[in-house]
Structures are given as C-alpha cells and as structure tokens.
C-alpha cells in the first residue's frame, strides 16, 4: 500500500487525549513546537479531530475559559482517509490541512500523512536528483498520443518519470511532462524535440533539472 509507506505512525506523534484542557493542550503544543496535533479518545485509538495552537491563542486572547476540554475547539473531525484508500483521494481530502489523519482497517487512528511527505513523494516521482531534463509536450489528449510521444522519446533515451496535467474532459490540450534519463546530451535532446514537433507535438518547455533553470533555447551541439 502506497499510503501506508508514507504515513508517520501514531507512536512517533505528539497527541492529546480528549479529556485534557485547553490550557494543558496549549502547553503541549508549545513544548512540542507543533502548530496542531491530533486529539484522540481516552484509549488512544479513536481520532476525534485536531487542535490548533492558533485557535487556542485566539480563544485565550478573548478571555475564553482555558479549563474547557480541548474538544471545545476541535477541528477537522471528518478529515480522515482509510489506509487502503486509493492514493488520488489524498489530494481531495488534504487540501489546506498540514496533514490528514489515516485510519486502519478497524477505523482506529494509525497515523498522519503530511503535506511535506506528499511533496517529497511527488519530488521523487519527478526524479529531480537523477534526471537530466523535463520536457513539457503539448497534445490534444486523443487516444494513443501518450504512447506515441513516449515511443518517439524512447528512440533516443529512457523516460524515468511521466506526469500528465490538464487531464479534465473539458481541457482542449494536455501538458505531458517527461523526465529524461541522466546524461542526455545536446544532440539527443535536439533530435527528440525535432522528432516530436515533426509529429505535431509541440515542446512548450524544457527544464534543466541539474541547473534548476528553464532552457530559452536548445543547448549547442
């Protein structure tokens, strides 16, 4: 399971029980330097929601009762995903959250999947540290075009990563991002671009991963 491999497990997390007060929760948040932490039931198995440091500060600044239970300011109670959920569902649920709670097969709190871990995974998918260039190739999204583009590129070099953007049904064009193997030389890159455009696929951008720049023009041979 992909999600399971990315989750920060419960035993490594700072959490609070639902019975602690806002004053106690604030102390835990300040000492751990977390912006928010999960709230669990007394057994430590059921996820109740999250408590945010900023919400406690706001409550305190308004002379709110700090002896109230932490659940008084509970947030994100329904923001969870099962550990066996399809990975794409993470993107529909995490949105602006710092993390999303992950539940095991028994609906018990298993851990969290953070934004940071998600971005690290996407970075690895791009092969930023080992790839040479990323080609953004424009297509109409017709059946077989992705395979055709891949075949053209593979005539010269290996593809080590692929991502398609604008995949909505209403999109008129699609941007297909191909990460090329390391040590692609200028001649290979030029042939790839020429062959793609000869087959009516426009290369709209070339990113040099090693230099961290966008090429204004193809490198000299």
Q: Order of strands, edge to edge, in the sheet holding 109-114?
A: 8-9, 109-114, 99-103, 80-82
Given the candidates 1.10.10.10, 1.10.3720.10, 3.30.70.20, 3.10.580.10, the CATH classification of the domain at 2-120 is 3.10.580.10
For residues 180 and 209, give the distance between their C-alpha atoms in angstroms, rounded to a whole number.
Answer: 10
Can you give the pLDDT at residue 199? 95
Can you give the pLDDT at residue 84? 87
For residues 70 and 59, give the distance between their C-alpha atoms in angstroms, rounded to a whole number.
Answer: 11
For residues 81 and 102, give the distance between their C-alpha atoms in angstroms, rounded to a whole number.
Answer: 5
Can you give the pLDDT at residue 122? 73
CATH superfamily of 127-214: ACT domain (3.30.70.260)
For residues 11 and 150, give the distance between their C-alpha atoms in angstroms, rounded to a whole number.
Answer: 44
Can you give the pLDDT at residue 162? 87
One digit per residue, pLDDT tens: the chain, 221 residues? Answer: 568 888 999 999 999 999 999 999 999 999 999 999 999 999 999 999 999 999 999 999 999 999 999 999 999 999 999 998 877 778 778 878 899 999 999 999 999 999 888 888 777 766 666 789 999 999 987 889 999 999 999 999 999 988 888 766 555 788 999 999 999 999 999 999 999 999 999 999 999 988 888 887 776 65
Residue 115: Cβ within 10 Å count: 14
Q: Order of strands, edge to edge, in the sheet holding 47-52?
A: 16-17, 36-40, 47-52
For 192-218, the DSSP string reads HHHHHHHTT-EEEEEEETTTTEE-SSP
Sole residue written with tokens 């671009």:
193
Sorted by where each begins, the domain ranges of the chain are 2-120, 127-214
Can 2-120 and 127-214 be said to share one CATH topology? no
Exposure string (b/e) for 80-91, b if CB count within 10 Å is 16 or more?
bbebebeeeebe
* pTM for this predicted structure: 0.71
């Amino acid at each position: 399971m992909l999600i399971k491999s990315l989750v920060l497990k419960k035993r490594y997390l700072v959490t609070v029980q639902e019975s602690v007060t806002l004053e106690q929760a604030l102390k835990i948040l300040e000492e751990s330097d977390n912006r928010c932490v999960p709230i669990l039931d007394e057994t430590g198995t059921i996820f109740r929601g999250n408590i945010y440091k900023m919400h406690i500060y706001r409550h305190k600044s308004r002379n709110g009762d700090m002896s109230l239970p932490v659940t008084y300011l509970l947030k994100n109670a329904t923001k969870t995903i099962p550990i066996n959920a399809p990975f794409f569902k993470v993107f529909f649920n995490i949105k602006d959250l710092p993390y999303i709670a992950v539940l095991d097969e028994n609906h018990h709190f298993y851990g969290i999947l953070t934004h940071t871990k998600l971005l690290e995974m996407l970075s690895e998918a791009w092969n930023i540290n080992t790839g040479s260039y990323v080609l953004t190739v424009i297509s109409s999204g017709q059946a077989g075009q992705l395979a055709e583009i891949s075949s053209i590129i593979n005539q010269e070099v290996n593809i080590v990563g692929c991502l398609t953007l604008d995949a909505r049904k209403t999109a008129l064009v699609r941007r297909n991002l191909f990460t090329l193997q390391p040590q692609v030389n200028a001649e290979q890159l030029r042939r790839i671009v020429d062959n793609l455009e000869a087959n009516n696929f426009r290369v709209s951008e070339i990113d040099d991963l090693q230099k961290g720049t966008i090429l204004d023009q193809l490198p000299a041979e």
